[in-house]
Structure 1
Amino acid sequence: MTYHRPAGETYGGIAPTEERGRGTDRRDDDRRRGDRRSGDGPLDYETVSVPVLVIGAGAAGARTAIELAERGVESLVVGKRDHGDAHTTWAAGGINGSLGSLDPDDDWTIHAADTLKEGHFLNDPVAVETVTKAMPDRLRELDEWGTNFDKTDEGRINQRYFGAQSFRRTAFVGDRTGEAILDALVAKARSLDVPYRENVMVTDLLSDGQRVYGAVAVDLTDGRFVLFAADSVVVAAGGFSALYGRHSSRDDENTADGPALAYEAGADLMDLEFVQFHPTGMVGNRYGEEWSGRLVTEAVRGEGGRLYNADGERFMERYSPDQMELDARDVVARAIAREVREGRGTENGGVYLDISHRDADYVRERLPKMVERFASLGVDITEEAVEIAPTAHYTMGGVDIDWTTGETRVEGLYAVGESAAGVHGANRLGGNSLAETVAMAPVVGRHVAERDPEAPDLGDADPADADFPSGMVAYAERAMGALADLEAADGDTRPAELIADLRKLMDDHAGIIRDGDSLREGLADLRLLRDRTAEVRVVGDRTGEDFELALDLAFMLTLAEGLLRGALVREESRGAHFRTDYPEKSPAWRRNILFRRGDTGMDHFTREVAAPSPEVQKALDAGYELDYHHLE
Structure 2
Amino acid sequence: MTPQKPSADGEQAADGRASDAGPAVDYETVSVPVLVVGAGAAGARVAIGLAENGVEPLVIGKRDHGDAHTTWAAGGINASLGSLDPEDDWTIHAADTLDEGHFINDPKAVELTAKHMPDRIRELDDWGMPFDRTEDGKINQRYFGAQSFRRTCFVGDRTGEAMLDTLVDKAQSLGIPYRDNVMITRLLSDGDQVYGAAGYDMESGEFILFESDHIVLAAGGSSALYNRHSSRDEENNGDGPALALEAGASLMDMEFVQFHPTGMVGDRYGEDWDGRLVTEAVRGEGGRLLNADGERFMEEYSPDQMELDARDVVARAIAQELREGRGTENGGVYLDISHREDEYIKSRLPRMYERFMDLGVDITEKPMEVAPTAHYSMGGVDIDFESGETGVGGLYAVGETVAGVHGANRLGGNSLAETVAIGALVGDHVATQVTGDDRNGALPDGQRAIAEREFQSLRELEASDGDETPEQLLADLGDLLWEHAGILRTDESVSAGLEKLRNLRERTGNMHVDGDRTSLSFELAVDLSFSLTVAEALLLGARKRDESRGAHYRTDAPDVDPDWRRNILVDQGDTGLELTTRGVAEPSDAVSEAVDVGYELDYHHLE
Tell me the TM-score normalised to structure 2 length: 0.97
Q: Which residue of 2 aligns with 1:15?
A: none
Whole-angstrom CA distance in 2 between matches of 1:471 and 1:152: 60
Q: Which residue of 2 aligns with 1:8?
A: none
1:328 equivalent among 310, 331, 335 = 310
Q: Does 1:531 align with 2:506?
A: yes
The CA deviation string for residues 172-231 of structure 1, in whole angstroms up to 9 with x for no partner, is 000000000000000000000000000000000000000111100110111110000011
Aligned length: 599
Whole-angstrom CA distance in 2 between matches of 1:284 and 1:411: 45
Whole-angstrom CA distance in 1 between matches of 2:127 and 2:311: 31
Q: Which residue of 2 aligns with 1:301?
A: 283
Cα offset for 1:452?
Answer: 2.2
Q: Which residue of 1 aligns with 2:440?
A: 457
Q: Secondary structure at the match of 1:32?
A: strand
Whole-angstrom CA distance in 1 between matches of 2:109 and 2:198: 30
Q: Does 1:507 align with 2:489?
A: no
Whole-angstrom CA distance in 2 between matches of 1:305 and 1:374: 15
Q: Which residue of 1 aligns with 2:11?
A: 28
- Give 4+ residue runs of structure 1 displaced > 6 Å after superposition: none
Whole-angstrom CA distance in 1 between matches of 2:543 and 2:258: 17
Whole-angstrom CA distance in 2 between matches of 1:377 and 1:456: 56
Cα offset for 1:38?
Answer: 7.3
Q: Does 1:581 align with 2:588?
A: no
Cα offset for 1:409?
Answer: 1.0
1:405 equivalent among 374, 387, 390 = 387
Partners of 1:52 and 1:453 within 8 A in 2: no
Aligned pairs for 1:397-436 within 5 A: 397-436=379-418
Q: Does 1:91 align with 2:73?
A: yes
Cα offset for 1:285?
Answer: 2.8
The CA deviation string for residues 285-310 of structure 1, in whole angstroms up to 9 with x for no partner, is 33111111000000000000000001
Q: Does 1:497 align with 2:443?
A: no
2:198 maps to amino acid: V
Q: Which residue of 1 aligns with 2:117?
A: 135
1:569 equivalent among 533, 537, 544 = 544
Rate the CA distance shift 1:415–1:33 in 2: closer, same or farther, 3 A: closer
Partners of 2:185 and 2:199 within 8 A in 1: yes
Whole-angstrom CA distance in 2 between matches of 1:305 and 1:185: 31
Whole-angstrom CA distance in 1 between matches of 2:318 and 2:412: 18
Cα offset for 1:284?
Answer: 3.9
1:229 maps to amino acid: E
Q: Does 1:604 align with 2:579?
A: yes
Q: Secondary structure at the match of 1:575?
A: coil
Whole-angstrom CA distance in 1 between matches of 2:11 and 2:60: 14
Q: Which residue of 2 aligns with 1:387?
A: 369
Tell me the TM-score normalised to structure 1 length: 0.94
Q: Does 1:61 align with 2:43?
A: yes
Whole-angstrom CA distance in 1 between matches of 2:156 and 2:112: 27
1:155 equivalent among 137, 152, 157 = 137
Aligned pairs for 1:268-347 within 5 A: 268-347=250-329
1:325 maps to amino acid: E
Partners of 2:195 and 2:214 within 8 A in 1: yes
2:202 maps to amino acid: L
Whole-angstrom CA distance in 1 between matches of 2:10 and 2:149: 51
Cα offset for 1:80?
Answer: 0.7
Q: Secondary structure at the match of 2:269?
A: coil
1:413 maps to amino acid: L
Q: Which residue of 1 aligns with 2:360?
A: 378
Q: Secondary structure at the match of 1:109?
A: helix
Whole-angstrom CA distance in 2 between matches of 1:134 and 1:92: 21
Whole-angstrom CA distance in 2 between matches of 1:230 and 1:154: 49
Whole-angstrom CA distance in 1 between matches of 2:220 and 2:262: 21
1:131 maps to amino acid: T
Give the CA RMSD over aligned residues. Answer: 1.2
2:589 maps to amino acid: P
1:592 equivalent among 542, 567, 570 = 567
1:32 maps to amino acid: D
Q: Does 1:82 align with 2:57?
A: no
1:520 maps to amino acid: S
Whole-angstrom CA distance in 2 between matches of 1:261 and 1:171: 33
Partners of 2:27 and 2:208 within 8 A in 1: yes
* Structure 1 gap segments, 5+ residues each: 1-24, 459-465
Q: Which residue of 2 aligns with 1:478?
A: 453
Q: Secondary structure at the match of 1:585?
A: coil
1:457 maps to amino acid: N
Tell which deviates more after alignment, 296-305 or 137-146: 137-146
Partners of 2:266 and 2:275 within 8 A in 1: no
Q: Which residue of 2 aligns with 1:13?
A: none
Cα offset for 1:27?
Answer: 5.0
Aligned pairs for 1:191-340 within 5 A: 191-340=173-322
Whole-angstrom CA distance in 2 between matches of 1:223 and 1:427: 39
Q: Secondary structure at the match of 1:218?
A: strand
Partners of 1:38 and 1:485 within 8 A in 2: no
Cα offset for 1:507?
Answer: 0.8
* Structure 2 gap segments, 5+ residues each: 1-7
Cα offset for 1:48?
Answer: 0.3
Q: Which residue of 2 aligns with 1:109?
A: 91
Whole-angstrom CA distance in 1 between matches of 2:305 and 2:51: 44
2:271 maps to amino acid: E
2:55 maps to amino acid: V
2:410 maps to amino acid: R
Whole-angstrom CA distance in 2 between matches of 1:284 and 1:260: 30
Partners of 1:50 and 1:456 within 8 A in 2: no
Q: Which residue of 2 aligns with 1:12?
A: none
Whole-angstrom CA distance in 2 between matches of 1:37 and 1:176: 52
The CA deviation string for residues 341-396 of structure 1, in whole angstroms up to 9 with x for no partner, is 01101122210000000111101010000001101111100000000000000000
Whole-angstrom CA distance in 1 between matches of 2:360 and 2:21: 53
Q: Which residue of 2 aligns with 1:19?
A: none
